[in-house]
């Protein structure tokens, strides 16, 4: 039984990655003739440049939120140090396994005199905040764009319950309990060792801004190929945030490559968007995202602690 579980853990992510890529390649081949007909004008390049700048700034913003999270967990660090560590390790997410950036941050924090267990937990809290934020934005954008023909009451209830569970998981009661256990703090010493003194709504809102910035970068990339209406704006934001969430939580390729793209294709095909626009957008947006992270890593290397 243990051998079977270990086998599944090892190869499941590669199976998901392979199936996602197979689906993308097959869809791409079937629509190649229409994709190559797309042209860009001067306005398109302005929008793509803006998409890059927004995406680049989103990573800087995310780094600042991470620094704030560490400070709330009683790990006071300088913003310049946090920016440097976050931006330089961010590019490591493209290493197979999708944990290189976590390892780099855990190692950097532990070198500041913080125990490895506490460092690991504080770093792994960030994706939990991100997942909650992406789910909230997915639900809100869905409610804004929903009409009576697309509304599914039970699916909405399931999403709400999932969100509530996620929001409870970051409550100080549970976070502090885990931190106390990891650090070996006894019950009588709890009061003077409180980590999160109140619900971390600032971090949650900060991560929501990060997801919104990433979504805006995606939508600006889309607008470089075709204009959109207000209704379509929220539809695209809904699809992006949900696809980004799946790319974060489902084991697969580095940085959600494959899972994110496959989800976007499936969601937007059901909305009858032109498939050539969908493909062009996800391809260019992936390139913009990588370029933004490489630029951020370069900025991090130039940053003095």
Where are the chain's structural domains? 40-302
Contact in structure between 209 and 64 (CB atoms under 8 Å): no
Q: What is the pLDDT of residue 251?
A: 63
Q: What is the DSSP letter of 33?
A: H
pLDDT along the chain (305 residues), means of 10: 49 52 56 59 91 96 92 82 89 73 85 79 88 91 64 69 87 81 58 70 95 96 91 90 87 70 84 83 88 88 72
What is residue 276's three-state secondary structure?
helix
Q: How far apart are CA 109 and CA 179, in angstroms?
A: 15
pLDDT of amino acid 269: 79
Q: What's this model's pTM, rounded to 2 decimal places?
A: 0.85
Per DSSP, 190 falls in state: S
CB burial string 148-176: b at 16+ within 10 A, e below: eeeeeeeeeeebeeebeebeeebebeebb
């Amino acid at each position: 039984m243990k051998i079977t579980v270990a086998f599944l853990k090892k190869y499941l992510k590669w199976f998901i990655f392979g199936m996602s890529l197979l689906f993308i390649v097959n869809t791409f081949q079937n629509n190649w003739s229409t994709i190559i007909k797309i042209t860009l004008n001067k306005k398109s390049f302005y929008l793509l440049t803006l998409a890059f700048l927004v995406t680049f700034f989103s990573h800087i913003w995310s780094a600042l939120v991470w620094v704030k999270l560490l400070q709330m967990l009683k790990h006071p660090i300088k913003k310049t140090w946090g920016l440097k560590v976050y931006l330089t390790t961010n590019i490591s997410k493209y290493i197979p396994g999708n944990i290189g950036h976590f390892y780099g941050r855990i190692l950097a924090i532990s070198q500041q005199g913080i125990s490895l267990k506490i460092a690991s937990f504080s770093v792994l809290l960030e994706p939990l905040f991100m997942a909650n934020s992406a789910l909230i934005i997915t639900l809100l954008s869905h409610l804004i764009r929903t009409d009576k023909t697309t509304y599914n009451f039970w699916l909405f209830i399931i999403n709400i319950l999932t969100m509530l569970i996620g929001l409870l998981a970051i409550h100080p009661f549970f976070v502090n309990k885990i931190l106390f256990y990891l650090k070996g703090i006894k019950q009588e010493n709890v009061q003077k060792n409180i980590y999160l003194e109140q619900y971390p709504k600032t971090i949650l809102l900060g991560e929501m801004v990060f997801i919104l910035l990433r979504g805006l970068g995606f939508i600006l990339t889309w607008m470089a190929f075709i204009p959109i209406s207000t209704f379509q704006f929220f539809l695209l934001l809904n699809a992006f945030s949900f696809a980004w969430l799946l790319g974060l939580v489902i084991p697969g390729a580095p940085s959600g490559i494959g899972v994110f793209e496959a989800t976007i294709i499936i969601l937007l095909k059901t909305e009858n968007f032109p498939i050539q626009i969908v493909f062009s957008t996800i391809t260019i947006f992936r390139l913009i995202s990588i370029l933004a992270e490489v630029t951020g890593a370069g900025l991090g290397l130039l940053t003095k602690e």
